[in-house]
Amino acid sequence: MQPEKIKSLQRAIKAMHGCDSRYVESVPVKEVFNKLIAWQGTVEVFDLVGHDKAKRAYAWKYEEGKEIKTIAVLEIPPVDSPQSAVKVAIAATARRNEN
């Protein structure tokens, strides 16, 4: 765990979802689609403080072209794990790119 990376993700969670968070753990995730790696990296898990719908969030950074982007997904069904957070984020990005 890199303290600045965690703090950066906590700031993103606060900005996106309006609540504070506490770091829980780092989970390696590899998402494969059609036998190709769709995404591989580490998802940081956070407990949320004061959010009215979710108790947990999953967050990570990734590169898109030359830009570093941050994703913070709330643990709201169907999201119930770091793996499902990545799947939902990939699906949302694919839908945005179709439009």
Q: What is the pLDDT of residues 15-35, one digit of tens each?
A: 999 999 999 999 999 999 889
In which band, very low, low, confident or very high, does the pLDDT at 95 lie, cut at 50, 70 and 90? confident
Residues 64 and 77: their CA atoms lie apart, in Å, by: 27
| Residue 96 confidence (pLDDT) above 80 | no
Label each residue of 4-57 as H, E or C. HHHHHHHHHHHHHHCCEEEEEEEEEEEEEECCEEEEEEEEEEEEEECCCCCCEE
- Which pLDDT score is estimated for 69? 92
Q: For the beta carbon of residue 87, count every other beta carbon within 10 angstroms.
A: 19
pTM of the predicted structure, to 2 decimals: 0.91
